[in-house]
Structures are given as C-alpha cells and as structure tokens.
Chain A
Amino acid sequence: MTWDEVFELLAVGFQETAWMVGVSALLTAVGGLLVGVLLVLTDSGGLLAARPVNAVLGLIVNVGRSLPFIILLVAIIPFTRAVVGTTIGTDAAIVPLTVGAIPFFARIVEAALREVPADVVAASVAMGATRRQIVGKVLLREALPALIAGLTITVIAIIGYSAMAGTVGGGGLGDLAIRYGYQRFETEVMIATVVALVVFVQLVQMVGDVLVRRLSHR
C-alpha cells in the first residue's frame, strides 16, 4: 500500500471518528450535566432532597459505569436499532458511545459541583435566590472550569471507546487500525493511525486546558 493510499484511508477514518466523538460528546455533555445536577440536588441535604430518586439514579449510573464498554456495545444492540434503525456504521456507534459516556461524565459533574463550597450555596439561599438561579449562576458557573476539565477527560475516553465501535462496523480510526494494521499486517496504516490518535487526543487536551485556564479565577 502506498503512503497516498494510507493518507486517503486515514482522512476517511479521521472524519468518521471526529463525527462519532463529536456527536456523542455533545449528547454526553447535555445528558451527563443533567444527571450530575440531579444527583447533587436530590442528595440528602440538597436543594431538592429526595432520597429514593437519588438512590435509583445512583444505581442506574453505577450499572452504566460497571459494564465494560465492549459489553455495553453488544448488550444495547436492540436499543441502538430502535433509536437509529441500524446497528452498523458510525451513526449506530454514537448510541452506545453516548450511553456509555453519560454515567462517566455524570459522576465527574457530581464531583465538580460538590467542590463548590457549601457556604457559597448557603449565602445564595440566604440572599433569597431561586433554585434555578442557584443551579445556573452559582453551582454550574462556579464549577465551570472543573466541568470543562471533566468534559476533556470524557471526550478523550470517548475517543478510546470509539476504537472499539469499529468491531461492530462503526468505522473510524480504531476500525482502521484493527482491519488494516492488525488483521492485514499493514504496519504503515497502524503507525499512521496511532500518530493520528495521539495528535487528536493532544489537541482535545490542549483546547480543554486553555479553556480551563481562561475560566478559572480561584
């Protein structure tokens, strides 16, 4: 295989990975934020304290966290089919990627929100702030640097997961590395893929770090 051919493959693989990771990261950010905020609010002593809701939510998150991604991928095939109508391809991979990453990010969100000092929240309550104001202007805003740092970690984890999505025909860089690099002994493809993944992860981390530095005033 010539290097031109390798680059062509790589370009396609990179596009597929970027699409899978981009869409899943977006959905995960929204879903994880929602679940994380609910975990904090419903905890005993929280602003919407509700033990049973908190316990059930925590259990669901833990189940999601305890399944190895490769198993989750297969286990939710019926769900994936119901959502996107197929179980093969990049779009199909987005479903398990999102389902797998939401619990992961939700716990990160929960930890980040708990880092907001209790007296800052109490001060807002004492001022007569509404729950919506406290969540939006205090909890999320104060935790924003930690949330961005957490999202960076999550996106990089999703890039890792996305390589496994290749095994169900998900496409992307990981798929490329396995089909060409491993199964067909195309060392050039393997090396190129590894380099591409390293660069991709590096870029994501850099963007995350810059954002965190800009936003943090602690």
Chain B
Amino acid sequence: MIEIRGLRKTYRSRKQSVNAVDNVDLTVGEGEVYGVLGQSGAGKSTLLRCVNMLERPDTGTVAVDGVELTALGGKRLRIARHGIGMIHQHFALLSSRTVAGNVAFALEVTGAPRAERRARVAELLELVGLSGRADAYPSQLSGGQKQRVGIARALAARPKVLLSDEATSALDPETTDSILRLLLDLNRRLGLTILLITHEMTVVKRICTSAAVMRDGKFVESGRVADLLRRDSELARDLFPLDGPSSVDGSAVLDVTVSGDDADKPLLAEVARRFDTDVRILAGHVETLAATRAGRWRIAVPTAASEDAADFLRKSGAQVGVAS
C-alpha cells in the first residue's frame, strides 16, 4: 500500500547539513499497522511528511496505493492526497469551526455537495463516538475528544491510508489507550492501512503489526513485530527492558525472548524438570501485543546446567542471549 524506495531528505543551513532521512526503504502492506519508533530528531517526522509530500524528498520514490506521488504535482497531487488521511500530535483543528465544521472541511476540500457532507459528517462522528458533540468548538473538548475529531476528519474522504504523526504523544495514558483502541478498530473494520511514527513503546505494543527502529535518519531494523522478537533485536530489548542483575555467583544469567504460542508454554518449568536444576527469574514480562503474544525473561541457571538449558530453549523457539 505504501512503497518507499531510497528516500533521502537533507536539510542544509549555512553551517551544516543534516541527513534527516538517509536512504530509507519501506513497504507497508495493505491492512498493516506499521510503527516507526525513534527518539526526537531521528528523522521519523520528516519521513512521514515525505509520504504525502508535505516535504519533497531529495531523492527516492514514494508510492501510495500504486500511485507514485513523487512524480505528481499541482492538482493531481492534491487529488491523490484525498486518499491519504493524516492525524497530528496537536490535533491541528480549526478553532473557528465546530466539531462538525472541522470534519465538513475535509469534505469541502474534496468538493462534496452540501447534502452529502451533512450525512457523511454524522456518520463519521458516530464512528469515532462523538455524535453528541457536533456543535461544540475544539476549545471545549478534551485532548482525546480533539484527536477523535482529527481521526473523523482524516477519514472523511474515505482514504485507504492513515498517517499518524505522534497522535497520542500529547495525551495521558488512559486517553492514549482509548485512541489506540479506536485506531485498531478502524484498522480491522475498514481495512485501513496505518503508518505511524512514535517515541512511545506502548503504541508499538498495542497496535503495530510491523515496526522499524529509526536512528540518525536510518532504519536500524525493521520487519514484522513477531519476527523482530524472534531475533536478538533492539526492538525486543526496548519493548521489554530487563533490569535484573546481570551476574549471579555460580549461575549463568540468560535473557530469553519468546513470541507467538511459545510465550504461553511452560518453558522454564520444563527446563527445571528436564535438567533437574533451579531456574530463577530475575526479571520478566509476558504480554499480549497487537499481533502476537510475547515474553521476555532474565533467568539465572546454575552453570552446570546452563549450556543444556540454553540449547533446549533455542530448540523450543526462544531467542537466548547472555545477559550484559
């Protein structure tokens, strides 16, 4: 649904030039929720703005739903943009218009007739759960409600793709949760493809089927979340930070990552039974992610049995590393 090839964007000032996006390739399949994770300044915002040409890439191509946007300009680009919704960290609503007016604006832009606009606005507000607040002004809404308006507006022209620019970063954890649930629901019900950027782990955990870690304008790693967890990935370490002790006298300390069905198997008990040894859990998580179950533990196994234990865990599908 989104195809990015060899994308570069450099900002030059008199003194220095910054490679905001440095040769990034990205493919987002239809119906996927793809998260780009990175610190501020990593270039993820520039990357996202290059997808709908808010920023023109220096080199590389961007295609959305088979249309190469990098080759378009003027009217054709504007029409292509109707098929790409976008939501923003600070909501970017028109303060002079009501909730209904804000959603209607997106339809005015596409040239929809008045009667159709009215019906569609009601339908969209229903979809995001704001039917009762059609006549309120944005200043009278909470942050979560504002973002719901933003989502309704982004979906007005029935786009296939939604771009999310830190959409939950200005919200409290509970509101973040409800917005993420809404996005996931829209993804499933409408088959909406979502590309989002965030610095929050929760967002990736809750809704992303695929993810990339971005640093200094480059993708450090990328792929399906379930696959990344099966490797010794930065994403796994970031999603499940282990803060237990990294050395225990007489024992080997191992970091074990499991995903999919393996996360719910009694693997550690099996190790204890099979090798007649103690297994101590020093730190650990087991959680339900958007697309998979996953867990990560830091365990201490007496040195005598540690080699066997590690082999067994690897054979059972776990990713095992020595704690450091």
Contacts and interface: CB of A to CB of B under 8 A. Distances in A.
Interface of A: 117, 119-120, 122-130, 133, 137-138, 141-142, 144, 215, 217-218
Interface in B71-100: 77-82, 84, 86, 88-90, 92-97
B323 to A, nearest CB: 43
A218 B96 CA distance: 7
Given A119-B88, A123-B86, A128-B78, A218 B95 contact: yes
A117 B90 CA distance: 10
Contacts of A123: 86, 88, 92
The main secondary structure of chain B at its interface with chain A is mixed
Contacts of B109: 124, 127-130, 133
Contact of B96 (A119, A124, A126, A142): A142
Given A117-B90, A217-B139, 14 more contacts: A119-B90, A120-B92, A120-B94, A125-B54, A127-B105, A128-B77, A128-B80, A128-B157, A130-B78, A137-B108, A138-B94, A141-B96, A141-B97, A217-B96
Contacts of A141: 94, 96-97
A218 B90 CA distance: 14
Given A138-B94, A217-B138, A126 B78 contact: no
A128 B82 contact: yes
B64 interface: no
B306 interface: no
B52 interface: yes
A64 B93 CA distance: 36
B137 interface: yes
B247 interface: no
Given A217-B137, A217-B138, A218-B139, A126 B93 contact: no
A117 B79 CA distance: 24
A127 B96 contact: no
6 contacts: A126-B52, A127-B109, A130-B78, A133-B108, A141-B96, A144-B96
Given A125-B54, A128-B110, A217-B137, A119 B81 contact: no
Given A133-B108, A217-B139, A126 B94 contact: no
B273 to A, nearest CB: 57
Q: Which of B49, B77, B105, B163 has the most CB of A within 10 A?
A: B105
Contacts of A122: 49, 54, 88, 92
Contacts of A128: 77-82, 109-110, 157
Question: What 8 A-B pairs have minimum CB-CB distances, sorted nearest first?
Answer: A128-B81, A123-B92, A128-B78, A217-B137, A119-B92, A126-B86, A129-B109, A128-B82
B106 interface: yes
Contacts of A138: 94
Contacts of A125: 54, 81
Nearest to B98: A217
Interface in B90-148: 90, 92-97, 105-106, 108-110, 137-139
A86 B84 CA distance: 59
Contacts of B78: 128-130
Contacts of A144: 96
B54 A120 contact: no
A126 B79 CA distance: 10
B156 to A, nearest CB: 8
A142 B90 contact: no
B101 to A, nearest CB: 10
Nearest to B106: A127
Contacts of A129: 78, 109
B95 A127 contact: no
A124 B96 CA distance: 14
Nearest to A129: B109
A126 B108 contact: no
A117 B159 CA distance: 25
Nearest to A119: B92
A218 B139 CA distance: 6
A138 B93 CA distance: 10
